[in-house]
Amino acid sequence: MKELKLTAILKTFSKEEIRDFEKFLQSPFLNTAGVYVLNFFQRLKKYYPDFESENFTKQSVFKSMYPKEKYNDTRLRKLISETMKLALEFISIKNFLNDDHSKGMYMLEELSERNIDSIFEIKSKEMMKRLEAEKVKDYQYYQKKYDIIQSAKSFYFNRERKKSIALFDEEINSLSKYFALLFIHKFIERFKEKHSFTDANFALPFFNEISNYAAETYSGKENLFDLYYTELLLHLTGEEKYYFSLKHIKEKVFNKIEISSLSNIYSTLANYAAEQQENGKVNYLNEIFILYKEILKRKLYGNIFSEFLFVNIVTTALRLGEIKFAEKFINDYKNKMNREVREDTYNYCLANILFSKKKFSSSLEAISKINFSFPLHKYLVKNLTLKIYFELNEADSIFSLIDSYKHILKRDKSVPQNVRMLITNFANFIREMIRIKNGEKKLEDIEVRIKKSVTAEKLWLLSKVSEFK
């Protein structure tokens, strides 16, 4: 019984939502299935929130409802199906009731259809006034503005044509800004994915048109178009001036951007800074750390903390020697991650902290508990394992792991070329360095080659080379 899709939904309900759902089922207008579904739910809620009691079976629930009847699986499945349908309707309606704009638009549609003109005009003006009072004026602001103007334009079209025509330009202007800002968001999303996770060639419809429109709209007044166009240029060119410009504009307009959009800006800045740091620009390491601390301060990690961000924060802190910060962070924020990756991510970060403390055996023990499913995570674990073997001078283990590593990389076509290069170069350097460490090879120019190369763990590699001198 606990494996039901219905209980999977009910597990996500808060205590308040459980109470509200019961009230929902008590309404004959909302619950047309009847009192039987309400009675069924009232028995289910006794097992909330886990729904994992040994007594929680189909037979026991059926018997509590129909003590004198023989168990009927068909009837129970129908109750489950009806309750699930109503649970889905409940969360949909709850979401709708929290969306003032959507409610308002349906209200305007009904007022127009019912020819209640005076109230339509009052309510449409009220909606526009509320919209203009909002601090956040991201692409969704232009979408809402378009909706209201388009509704008013249609309303007046067969009533007062002049008023309708006067709204045409304002309508298309709002639509254009919404369309352009949304597309720039989508372009950036695809550039990020392609750069970091996959080699897929994504479709970019209207790219030239949108880029030209954004360039023409660029004002130098540090507004939203300036922000997103600058972010787009940073992805396209990789030029440092756009990094600092984006960082500056972000502070000027951050209270006008939705949290998710602001989080994406930080992600772009952090990724660029990390790339520069890996290319030898060591000043960017502190840049990254500052960005991450701002993300935590402004709570831009969302309802579920990304495991990628979690790992990056720990990695950056450790590179700066901020071990206490890293330890406090993993314990304070662990439970904000998705359950499916929580323990693996925590243990990976713990392994890195133990490595920084030179507790190599303990680090390996933490690694043994990790079972990442995402391929790029697995490569991070292998990189850390190679570093531990190097510190322990386990040459045979290094050679063996590198050999299997390269076979896996060869088969795994999902790894982007730039990530493949980082991994391959790191493996080659660490194999060469263990031979130097054991006197099987001369030092020669490896330091120069590491500095010039695109490789993972560049700072660590250079620190180990310096110990050879």
Number of C-beta neighbours around residue 329 at 10 A: 19
Same domain, 34 and 82: yes
Show which of 79, 97, 115 is a domain's final residue: 97
Residues 6+ apart with CB under 8 A from 313: 292, 296, 326, 329
Q: Is the distance from CB of 81 to CB of 3 less than 8 angstroms?
A: no
Residue range 90-113: average pLDDT?
96
Same domain, 40 and 79: yes
Q: Which of 412, 350, 354 is nearest to 378 (CA)?
A: 412
451 domain residue, yes or no: yes
219 domain residue, yes or no: no
Same domain, 47 and 17: yes
115-129, 400-414, 455-469, range with greatest mean pLDDT: 115-129
Q: Classify residue 46 by its DSSP letter.
A: G
Give pLDDT tens digits for 58-77.
999 999 999 999 999 999 99
Under the banding of pLDDT at 50, 70 and 90, the label for residue 373 is: confident
306 domain residue, yes or no: no
Show which of 181, 216, 234 is a domain's final residue: 181
Least confident of 64-68, 336-340, 381-385, 412-416: 412-416
Same domain, 55 and 76: yes
204 burial via Cβ count (<10 Å: 0-12, 13-18, 19+): middle
Residue 356 CA neighbour count, 13 Å, CB half: 20
Give pLDDT tens digits for 120-141.
999 999 999 999 999 888 889 9
In this predicted structure, the answer to whether residue 2 has a pLDDT above a threshold of 60 is no
252 domain residue, yes or no: no
299 domain residue, yes or no: no
In this predicted structure, the answer to whether residue 413 has a pLDDT above a threshold of 90 is no
Angle between helices 458-466 and 417-437 in degrees, nearest 10: 10
Residues 6+ apart with CB under 8 A from 203: none
The dihedrals phi and psi of 337, each to the nearest 5 degrees, come to -85, 160
How high is the mean pLDDT of the chain? 91
pLDDT value at residue 279: 76
229 domain residue, yes or no: no
Residue range 379-404: average pLDDT?
94
Same domain, 167 and 129: yes
456 domain residue, yes or no: yes
Same domain, 12 and 93: yes
pLDDT value at residue 372: 81
Give pLDDT tens digits for 305-338.
999 899 999 999 999 999 999 999 999 999 999 9
In this predicted structure, the answer to whether residue 274 has a pLDDT above a threshold of 70 is yes
Region at 147 (left for phi over 0; alpha for psi -120 to 50; beta for the rest):
alpha
Show which of 37, 62, 97 is a domain's final residue: 97
Q: Is the distance from CB of 375 to CB of 342 less than 8 angstroms?
A: no
Angle between helices 168-196 and 259-278 in degrees, nearest 10: 40
Q: State the residue for tokens 């499916």.
A: 340
Residue range 379-387: average pLDDT?
93
Under the banding of pLDDT at 50, 70 and 90, the label for residue 196 is: low
What is the token pair recorded at 308?
């990628």
- When divided into structural domains, the chain yields a total of 3
The whole-model pTM stands at 0.72
Residue range 336-361: average pLDDT?
95
Give pLDDT tens digits for 150-178.
999 999 999 999 999 999 999 999 999 99
Same domain, 112 and 34: no
C-alpha to C-alpha distances, 143 to 137, 172, 178, 196, nearest whole angstrom: 10, 11, 5, 30
Residue span of the structural domain in which 386 resides: 374-469
Does the bond joining 49 to the residue before it have cis omega, within 30 degrees of 0? Answer: yes
Q: State the residue for tokens 């048109």.
A: 209
